[in-house]
Amino acid sequence: MAGGWWLVAGGWWLVAGGWWLVATGYSLCPMTRSPFVIPIGDLLRDRAEPRDVDVEASVDWHVELSAVLPEPPLTAALTLSPMPGGLLVRGSVSGVARHSCHRCLEDYDEPFSVSVAELFVRPDDATEDDYTIDGDQLDLEPLLRDDVLLAMPMLPTCADCGELVDTSQTDLNTDVPEAGDSRSPFAVLKDLFEPGQ
């Protein structure tokens, strides 16, 4: 009966439509699942030229009091350059982070841009600290995530709270307030361990 064939045909269209959706979901890079995974077979050949790579992705990276917002998406503008020891990745990665102020706990958003420069090496040459080339692919996510999260402030401070302290000479991340003051715990410790000095 004709109706039955239409039903069958419609079913195939649904199946085909599903595969089409799956296929277009990965259309930017058909052989990979992550926007951070870059095919680099061309760069591993002899006399390969450096190649620019742009990456755009919504990420869910966070650390302590800071998180990278999924919108606007993270963007990275990188150059991949073949080197004798591997592949040099250089450029910058930008996005917007939401921080929780460590003084008042209010959230505030702040754009960031982080420089990236790292050599990816072949697994045979790698130590455990190295980023590695995976066959003819490069997964940029571990590097970019590490660099972005390392750049997040350890003690995020909102603009209002920042006005309450004199920040002109002080890096809130590293400087110990009143380090030269005799009342500081470090000065007290120094006296304890170095009597008479």
Q: Which residues contact 181 (CB under 8 A, 6 or more apart)?
A: 187
Give the Cα separation of 150 and 141 in Å (integer).
Answer: 14
Structure-token pair, residue 106: 């209010």
Is residue 158 involved in binding Zn ion (CB under 5 A)?
Answer: yes
Nearer to Zn ion, 100 or 137 (CB): 100
Q: Which of 77, 161, 172, 187 binds Zn ion (CB under 5 A)?
A: 161
Between residues 101 and 116, which has the closer beta carbon with respect to Zn ion? 101
Judge residue 93's burial from the number of C-beta atoms within 10 Å of its C-beta, 0-12 exposed, 13-18 middle, 19 or more buried: buried
Binding window for Zn ion (CB under 5 A); candidates: 21-29, 81-89, 110-118, 151-159: 151-159
Residues 23-82 that bind Zn ion (CB under 5 A): none
Compute the distance between CA of residue 10 and CA of residue 8 in angstroms, rounded to an integer.
5
CB of 160 to Zn ion, least distance (A): 5
DSSP state of 89: E
Considering only residues 80 through 109, tell me which ones interact with Zn ion, judged by CB under 5 A: 101, 103-104
Total site size for Zn ion, rule CB under 5 A? 5
Asked if 133 and 87 touch (Cβ cutoff 8 Å), the reply is yes
Closest distance of CB 171 from Zn ion, Å: 17
Residue closer to Zn ion (CB basis): 9 or 104: 104
Least distance between Zn ion and beta carbon 66 (Å): 14
The DSSP 8-state label assigned to residue 185 in this structure reads H
Q: Look up residue 170 and give its two tokens.
A: 């002080």
Binding window for Zn ion (CB under 5 A); candidates: 121-129, 159-167, 175-183, 187-195: 159-167
Helix (H, G, I), strand (E, B), or coil: what is residue 140?
A: coil
Which stretches of the chain bind Zn ion, using CB under 5 A? 101, 103-104, 158, 161
